[in-house]
Amino acid sequence: MNRIKSAFEHGKAFIAFITCGDPDLETTAACVREAAKNGADLIELGIPFSDPTAEGPVIQGANIRALAAGVTTDKIFDFVKEIRVDVKIPLVFMTYANVVFSYGAERFISTCRNIGIDGLILPDLPFEEKGEFQPVCEKYAVPLISLVAPTSENRIGMIASAAEGFLYIVSSLGVTGVRSEIKSDLRSIVEVVRKNTSIPCAIGFGISTPEQAKKMAAVSDGVIVGSAIIKYLERYGKDAPSQIGKYIKSMKDAISEIK
Amino acid sequence: MTNSKGRFGAYGGQYIPETLMNAVIELEAAYEHYKNDSEFCRELNKLLCDYAGRPSGLYYAEKMTENLGGAKIYLKREDLNHTGSHKINNVLGQALLAKKMGKTRLIAETGAGQHGVATATAAALMGMECVVFMGKEDTVRQALNVYRMKLLGAEVKAVESGTATLKDAVSEAMREWTSRISDTHYCLGSVMGPHPFPTIVRDFQSVISKEIKSQLLEKEGRLPDAVIACVGGGSNAMGSFYNFINDKEVRLIGCEAAGRGIDTFETAATVNTGKIGIFHGMKSYFCQDKYGQIAPVYSISAGLDYPGVGPEHAYLHDVKRAEYVPITDDEAVNAFEYLSRTEGIIPAIESAHAVAYAMKIAPTMDKNQIIVITVSGRGDKDCAAIARYRGEDIYE
C-alpha cells in the first residue's frame, strides 16, 4: 500500500521539504515530528548532495551544512527507520541521481521499500532518463515522482500520463528559492495535467507566504515548500523545529480555507 | 531502458532538470539542421580561417626530437589560434548556431579562463551579451584572463559555492540557464554535459584531427603513431582524436592532471581514480566518494581541475581505443619549462601535461615513428603561477 494517496485526502496537501542532517539528524527528526503534528501531509526528505544543481543558495547551504556535519546515505536510512515507528504520514526522498546510482539502484530502492519510504524525487532525472531507475522502482513499488516545468509545454501530456504517486509542478524557471511573485501560467499547465492523469498534482518552487500558498493550492491539489523552511534551520539551527511547526501550521491553515 | 540519444556506449545521456529539456531538444534540432546547411558551414569556415587563423600549423619540433632521441615530434599549434587556445573552434561554432537560433545572450563556464575569453570574444564579434561564470579560486589564479573578458565586454561572475573552481562554475552556469532560457544559449566549453553538447563540441573541435591528418600526410606521407593531448573535460583531446578513431594503428593518448599524484587526494585524474557516476547532465567517470558525493579535485592547472570527463572519453577508455595517463604537477611544470627553452614555445600548463607524456615515451620509440602533441593553448596566462610554483614572488 502506498501512502502518498492519503496525503491528498485532507483537503489541499501541504508538503514540506527538509534536508536530512542539517544541522544534525536529531534536529531533522524533531522537525519531521513538528511538521507532522502541525498539519504537513507529506514530507520530502532531502538526502544532501555535494553539488545540487537544481537548488538555489538556501538549500545549497543546507546540503553543505549537512555533509560537513557528516551525514551519509546509510545514516539517513537508519534515521528513517527510527522515525517511522511513530511518524505515519507519507515520506519521500528527494536527492540527485548520483546518490542513488552510486549506492546501487537495487540496494537503494529496496532499502527505501524496507524502511517505509513512499517515493523518490530526482530533479536531474527527466522523463527520457527515467529508465535508469524506473524498473527497480516498479519492482519495489516505490514511485518515481515526475516533474513538469513552465517550459515543458508539449511534454506535459507525455510526462503526466506516465506519472505515479503525485505530479510535481515546478512553478517558475530557475532553481529552488523564495520568490516574491510567481508569474507562470500554472492554471493552463494543470489543465493539461488533469486531461492526462488522475493522480494529484502539487506546486513547488518559490512558495513561502500563506497568500502564495493559497493561490497555488487554488489551482492544484497541494503546495510544496522547501527554502522557506530551510531558512529557519539556517537561522535557528537546533532551535528551529518549534518555529517550523508554527510556520507549517500557518501555511496549512491558509490552504485549508480552499475547498 | 535509458535514453539512447547521445550515448557513447553506456555513457552520456541527458540527466538534467525538466526545465532544460526543451532547450536541449531545440538545440539538438537546430544543430542537426545547421550542421549540413551550406550557408552555415561557409560562414563558420570563413570565421575559422579569417578571424581565428585556421588552419593552425603542424610544426616539426626538430630540437625536441633530437634532444629526446626517439620518435619524431610534431606540435599541433592550437596555441596560435586567435584568443590563444583551441577553445575558439567550438565557441565560434556555438555562437553562430545560437545566433541562428535567435539567441542574444551567451553564458559560459570557465576554468583557466581560455573558454571564457573565447566566448567573450565571439560575443563581442557577434554583438551578443555575455556572462562568464568562473570559480572564485580561479579568478585569483587567472586574474589576467578575468581582465581580458571584461575588456571584451563580458560580465565575469565569481562563483563562491562548493570548491569555487571549474565544477562549481559549470553548476552555476546550469542554474543560470535554468532561470533564463528564451534569449540565452549556454555555450558549454567541453565535450561534456547533457546531449547534444558532447557531440556538438566534439564536431566543432574535430577540425584539429582533420588538419593533423592532412598536414602530416603532406609532410610525411603517413599517419602518426601516437596523438597526445591533455584531458580535463576533454575537448582538445576529443578534437585531436576524432578523425583517427578508425585508424587503429594510431595510439590515442589523453593526459590527465594527477596533481600531487594519483595516490593522493590532491588529484584530478578522473579516468585513473574515478568511478562511473551521473553528474552535470551525463553518465561518465567522476571523482567521488562511496556515497556519490563529488570529490574536491586538485591540479596546478585550472583548466584540468575538473572531477569528471566527457562521456565519449569514458567510452574510448572502456573499449580500449584510447589510453588515459596521469601527469603530475611537477612533470607538467618541467615540460612547461622544457618546451619554452627547447623550442621557444611557452605552452599552456594544461597542454604541458601532454608535452610531459611525450617526453616520457618519445625516447622509447624508434626514430621513424611519429608523435603528434596537441599544444592546446599558449602559456602566457600561466607564467606568474609557474613562477610562484618555483618560489619566485611574481604577481600579475
Query: Percent of chain B beyond pLDDT 70?
Result: 99
B221 and B301 belong to one structural domain: yes
Task: Check residue B142 and give its pLDDT.
Answer: 84
Whether B396 is in a domain gets the answer no
Task: Give the mean model confidence (pLDDT) for residues A4-15.
Answer: 96
Nearest to B309 by CA among B258, B274, B342, B352: B274
Q: Please tell me whether the overall predicted TM-score, pTM, comes out greater than 0.95 for this model.
A: yes
pLDDT at B186: 98
Q: Is B158 exposed, middle or buried (0-12, 13-18, 19+ CB in 10 A)?
A: middle
CA distance B37 to B31: 10
Domain boundary among B201, B231, B251: B201
Please check whether residue B360 touches A, CB under 8 A. no
- Sheet order of strands, B11-15 included: B7-8, B11-15, B281-286, B275-279
C-alpha cell at B326: 596521469
Interface test with A, best of B7, B19, B172 (most A CBs within 10 A): B19
Tens of pLDDT, residue by residue over B338-394, are: 999 999 999 999 999 999 999 999 999 999 999 999 999 999 989 988 999 999 987
Q: Which three cell numbers stand for residue B148?
A: 581580458
Cβ–Cβ < 8 Å for B141, B385: yes
- B213 and B346 part of one domain: yes
Residue B5 has a pLDDT of 82
Q: Considering the domain boundaries, does residue B1 fall inside one?
A: no
- The domain boundary, picked from B201, B230, B246, lies at B201
- pLDDT reading at A106 higher than 70: yes
Cell matching residue B151 = 575588456
Q: Domain boundaries in chain A? A: 3-256
Report pLDDT for A109. 98
Dihedral-angle region of residue B309 (phi above 0 means left; psi in -120 to 50 means alpha; beta otherwise) = beta
B174, part of any domain: yes
Please tell me the distance in Å from B326's CA to the nearest CA on chain A.
Answer: 24
> pLDDT digit string (tens) for B281-330?
999 999 999 999 999 999 999 889 999 999 999 999 999 999 999 999 99
Whether A51 and B294 lie within 8 Å, measured CB to CB: yes
- pLDDT at position A40 is 98
**CATH code that applies to domain A3-256:** 3.20.20.70
User: B394 in a domain, yes or no?
Assistant: no
Amino acid B395: pLDDT: 66
Work out the average pLDDT over A6-22: 97
In a domain, B382, yes or no: yes
Asked if pLDDT for residue A110 goes beyond 90, the answer is yes
Q: Which of B138, B172, B201 is the last residue of a domain?
A: B201
Q: Where are the alpha helices (DSSP H) in chain B?
A: 18-34, 38-46, 62-68, 87-100, 114-126, 136-141, 143-151, 166-179, 197-205, 207-220, 235-241, 270-273, 311-318, 329-343, 349-361, 383-389
- H or E element at residue A26: helix A25-37
Residues 6+ away with beta carbon under 8 Å from A204: A15, A17, A168, A169, A170, A171, A176, A223, A224, A225, A226
Looking at the fold, whether B40 and B110 belong to one and the same domain comes out as yes
- Is there a single domain that holds both residue B121 and residue B164? yes
Q: Nearest by CB to A152, from B18, B276, B288: name it.
A: B18
Q: Are residues B100 and B31 in the same domain?
A: yes
Domain count, chain B: 2
Residue-range definition of the domain harbouring residue B345: 53-84+206-389
The rounded mean pLDDT for chain A is 96
- φ/ψ of B312, rounded to 5, equals -70, -30
Give the model confidence (pLDDT) of A208-255 as tens digits.
Answer: 999 999 999 999 999 999 999 999 999 999 999 999 999 999 999 999
Same domain, B79 and B100: no
- B282 inside domain: yes
**Residue numbers in chain B where pLDDT is lower than 50:** 1
ipTM, two decimals: 0.97
Question: Do A103 and B291 lie within an 8 Å CB cutoff?
Answer: yes
Over 70: is that where the pLDDT of A1 sits?
Answer: no
Q: Is the pLDDT of residue A259 over 90?
A: no
Task: Spot the catalytic one: B87, B103, B213, B381.
Answer: B87
Q: How far is B247 from chain A (nearest CA, A)?
A: 33
Tracing cell 546501487 back to the chain, one arrives at A104
Query: Is B17 close to A51, i.e. CB distance below 8 A?
Result: no
Task: Note the pLDDT of residue B3.
Answer: 66
The answer to whether residue B376 is catalytic is yes
What are the φ/ψ torsions at residue B381 (nearest 5 degrees)? -60, -25
Domain assignment of residue B395, yes or no: no
Task: Please report, as a single letter, which amino acid is at residue A191.
Answer: E
CATH of the domain at B292: 3.40.50.1100
